[in-house]
Amino acid sequence: MANLINIGDVWNRVLLLIGKDQYGQAFSPMKFNQSLPWADIEVLDGYIKDYEKTRILSTNLIHLFKTYGTPETPKLSVDSFGRVILPDDFYYPSSGYSSTFLNKNCQASREFNNLEFLDDATFNYRRSTKVLKPKAKYPIACYTTVFQQDLQGNEEYVPALMVAPANIKQIGLTILRRPVPAVLGYTVSNGTVIYDPTTSTQPDWPESALDDYVEALVRVISRSIHSQQDLQNSFVQQSRQGTE
């Protein structure tokens, strides 16, 4: 993979663009770190939208592809209800397949069949009609959520796929994973923030994505600052009305 963006460089560029003092209340290192995961999603969504329009894949996304169905990452299991729990780092599908064993002329072989991703309404319609009913050679899938309980007893809805026909037991899946959020490590000396590379983690983006990443981060932080200012103005207005 290409060299990663340096989070210290990002901090300095964002600081310059937003124009706040280094340890100001509106824009602090803490707010910066809290904004990083949201910036990741803005960048990722932007590249995905460009791909859906042009069908040209940005090279900045290549490292985020992850395939289930390899020696390192096994296929995903389909439960008795036709559901596949998606990985925690799942964000966007690239492709998927199921496979069936064939036995022709006493020779065994495996046939791979691409999954067709559908919206919920089309998926249910296809399952209910005889003409377009999914078959092993033409499997279909749609997104859903599944209510489950983790090992600590916490209950939540998690993303999943519904797969048809019912005899599919496993699928291979290639996804775009979520980027791992960066962390700005720092110390403060005489009110100045000093970047600490030993306690920092770098953004999950190559250097070629630096401009897109900084622009997304500035948008996220600016929205947060404006929301905070609007809230403060609202409190001031309410206080004035209460004293009149």
Residues in the chain, pLDDT under 70: 1, 20-26, 101-109, 226-244
DSSP percent split of the chain into helix, strand, coil, nearest 5: 40, 30, 30
113-164: pLDDT as tens digits: 999 999 999 999 999 998 999 998 999 999 999 988 777 778 888 999 999 9
CA 41, distance to chain mean position in Å, is 6
